[in-house]
Structure 1
């Protein structure tokens, strides 16, 4: 029978705290107490300290106080958690923590309900949650790494390790494949779906950027529904340097064709973007401090697309698009062609053209990053 450790979560009477007992099954119905961990309740959410998760998983943790983000690294895995954000990023994929991460006496904490999926992903092992007994079953392979010394007190958790101060303007990019799931986006006369096109281009772009040693997070990695707010939370929580949202266009005008780039600005929404389809949000504009850099990135990607694609260049436009407004980092939207135009739809329906688009977007990002790095030296 597989040996298990059991983390039993014992509720305390205090409103703010609870305890987590780490115990090991010895024989049937017999448990040996290893140690206690503490949890903290913030509102209706019970939190576990990141340092405790790191110790259980055998992970190294890093803290960036300037952006209030913590990173756990375990072998090839990397988990990024931003304070006050319900989305973490695990190995480039968004992970819903079910509730926002919060600070606990100056240290980050994540919701108890996220402990099992986080530990399972970091360790490549199977953890299980027993809701009735409030226990987390821990594989023996992991348990061996977290046993305290046989005598004396367990050592205190090591302080957070600092990040290098080297400036790398484009080290992590969030790619947002537009639409998906219940929202197919625009559909061309020949049946080409915007959601399918954007996901394929995003995946291809991600592969090219990773080959250039640039990390990538996708707001969706399959055909799934994501709201604008969810996409913004993923981007803001990733600690990224740039957000690129990928779309295909559509218009009632039969001759509308080509590509265009959007960044936030004061310009009116062009007629090719139906204002009725834009879900405006009431958030304060998080993008205000990033407008200049967003426009610089937009121009770099525009030039790259113009060189690579040979399509009509519709330029860089300004529009208060919801995702751009909510993004607290440089952000652009790339519209790669009109599905309402027969020629553009035919091109977007081919893998060869989508690869061309991906190469152009990746090259534009890389060119901007290189130029930005040179400017700050």
Structure 2
């Protein structure tokens, strides 16, 4: 009987040791998971993006077939992107927060924007614009990147994919460009996101609608986050 009791006691002790080891492993895993989460949060807090709302003030940009002014749509979408990224812990700076331009002439305005971008050295610059074309049937958001920048190309492809996902009828691809001033002169990864065509009556009406602006902002923010996270 004593032998059986000793065996039972040993079995209980072994069971307790196993449970203790399992608990320690679970605790260690919980701590590790917490550290990973903290690391992710710290990384996001270290990210910085500049959102550039094109045009402003006396420079209305393109005027849509329904009378929409590009500058207003640019700013509305830009502010929505800013809010979405900040909710993810990303630091965001705007080149403009209201209906104003940065300088009197167009070229000086562009120079001022580029100066901000090069001074702040963000992880990415997203310049928001609207497109126009002489054929009203042309539509769809399209993202442009500097031809010689692999980082800008990757960011453009991710944002473009998100735009196509938001608008299944959009078949456009991200496109390289070596002539746009902001793309040429900015020393950090930069893309120009043309969110649609104001020359297309249907798309112009959608771009003036706050709900659709939110959809475009969410798509752009999704692509930006994928780029920052290295996807």
Shorter-chain TM-score bucket reads 0.7 to 0.9
Q: CA deviation at 1:371?
A: 2.2
Gaps of 5+ in 1: 1-165, 266-287, 373-377
Is residue 172 from structure 1 mapped to residue 48 from structure 2 by the alignment? yes
Q: Distance in 2 between matches of 1:221 and 1:313?
A: 32
Write the distance in 1 (CA, Å) between the matches of 2:156 and 2:83.
21
1:322 to 177, 181, 203: 181
Return the match for 2:229 from 367, 370, 373: 370
C-alpha deviations, 1:73-119, integer Å up to 9, x for none? xxxxxxxxxxxxxxxxxxxxxxxxxxxxxxxxxxxxxxxxxxxxxxx
Structure 2 partner of 1:220 = 96
Alignment of 1:345 with 2:171, yes or no, is no
- Report which of the two structures shows the higher radius of gyration computed on alpha carbons: 2
SS in 2 for 1:298: helix
Question: After the TM superposition, which residues 231-246 of structure 1 pair with which residues of structure 2 at under 5 Å, given as runs?
Answer: 231-246=113-128
Instruction: Write the deviation string for residues 166-219 of structure 1: whole angstroms up to 9, x where unpaired.
Output: 876970000000111111011112111100000000000000000000010000
1:256, distance to aligned residue in structure 2 (A): 1.2
Moved more, 307-316 or 193-202: 307-316
Which residue number corresponds to residue 132 of structure 2? 250
- Following the alignment from structure 1 to structure 2, what is the Cα–Cα distance between the partners of residues 307 and 174? 24
Tell whether 2:79 aligns with 1:200. Answer: no
Question: Could you list the runs of 4 or more consecutive aligned residues of structure 1 that deviate by over 3 angstroms after TM superposition?
Answer: 166-170
Partner Cα distance (1:317, 1:210) in 2: 28
Q: Does 1:292 align with 2:150?
A: yes
Matches within 5 A, 1:1-377: 171-226=47-102, 227-265=109-147, 291-319=149-177, 320-371=179-230
Q: Counting helix residues as a fraction of each chain, which structure ranks higher? A: 2
If the length of structure 1 is used for normalisation, what is the TM-score?
0.47
How far the C-alpha of 1:225 sits from its partner, in A, is 1.3
Deviation at 1:367, TM superposition (A): 1.1
1:216 aligned counterpart, secondary structure: strand
Offset, 1:311: 4.2
SS of the residue corresponding to residue 315 of structure 1 reads coil
TM superposition shift of 1:323: 0.6
Q: Distance in 2 between matches of 1:361 and 1:208?
A: 10
Note the residue ranges of structure 2 that are not aligned, 5 or more in a row.
1-41, 103-108
Question: Normalising by the residue count of structure 2, what TM-score does the alignment of the two structures yield?
Answer: 0.76
Higher strand share: 1
- Residues of 2 paired with 1:307 and 1:190: CA distance? 26
What's the CA shift for 1:349? 1.0
Higher relative contact order (CA 8 A, sep 6+): 2
Alpha-carbon RMSD: 1.7
